[in-house]
Amino acid sequence: MRLKDKTALITGGGRGIGATTALLMLAEGARVGVVDLHEANMAKVVETARSRGYELKTFIGDVSQKESVQNFMDAFVNEFGRIDILVNNAGMAILRPFLEKTVEDWIKTLEVNLIGVFLCAQAAAKYMLAQKSGKIINISSIRGIDHCGREGIMDYSAAKAGVINLTKTMAKELAPHINVNTVAPGHTLTEMTASLPEAVRKNMIEGSYLKRMAQPEDIARAILFLASDDANFFTGQVLLVDGGFSLK
């Protein structure tokens, strides 16, 4: 029960890493809400939570739209009374070679993956500063680490690098009451990667020293660690959970 009575909001929590994190945090005693673009996206995780005896609250919203963010943040605090943990997990990528990449691809990708992190963190931080406590965990990617940017998703890689930099600055500005850290997952078995060609996924496995892709639980456990009291002296850090991929 490492998060007993804590309240946690997870963006993009309808599936994948976000949904797995929500279920893990519920099992650790937290009261949890997930936000996603559509209610239907969250039906499965809500049902899974219910079948395990937990109530998972849902909020509809778009992390890239300021008004929407304010609405779901206020609704979360109205529901739970406070916000102890924010996991900025919502993300997306558009795969297109460099010469065909459009400005629209770049804007959409930066809006969701980078500006969305800023908007949600800013809205949550106002409540957390009033409480004089809070933990913000931003989800970057192995692709945001120096020299690991990936062909076809250079906009996503740049956004995820931006998340790491933003985390460090936020850690300075929001200290001493709010801890801000990043989890940078390696290649993880979720719907985001399920549609990739077999050859690409084979390369991802070969590129990892542990010779497998991450399960969503591998990433969720790192997020849980940073959200728990075990990480009270961590701020501005990047926890790389990549099976050694970045060692190459």
162 binds ligand NAD (CB under 6 A): no
CA distance 112 to 120: 11
Q: Which of 83, 192, 94 is nearest to 129 (CA)?
A: 83
Among 10, 31, 45, 62, binds ligand NAD (CB under 6 A): 62
User: Could you tell me where the beta strands, DSSP code E, fall in 80-194?
Assistant: 85-88, 134-139, 178-185
What are the φ and ψ backbone dihedral angles of 15, each rounded to 5 degrees? -155, 180
Task: Give me the amino acid identity at 238.
Answer: V
Instruction: Enumerate the β-bridge partners of residue 36.
Output: 60
Establish if 11 lies at the interface with ligand NAD (CB under 6 A): yes
Could you tell me if 234 and 166 are in contact, meaning their C-beta atoms sit under 8 angstroms apart? no
Among 100, 191, 198, 229, binds ligand NAD (CB under 6 A): 191
Catalytic annotation present for 156: yes
Is 75 among the residues that bind ligand NAD (CB under 6 A)?
Answer: no
Identity of the residue, 101 or 201, whose beta carbon is nearer to ligand NAD in the bound complex: 201
Site string (104-123) toward ligand NAD, x via CB under 6 A: --------x---x-------
Active site residues: 156
Q: Which residues bind ligand NAD (CB under 6 A)?
A: 11-12, 14-18, 35-37, 41, 62-64, 89-92, 112, 116, 139, 141-142, 185, 187-188, 190-193
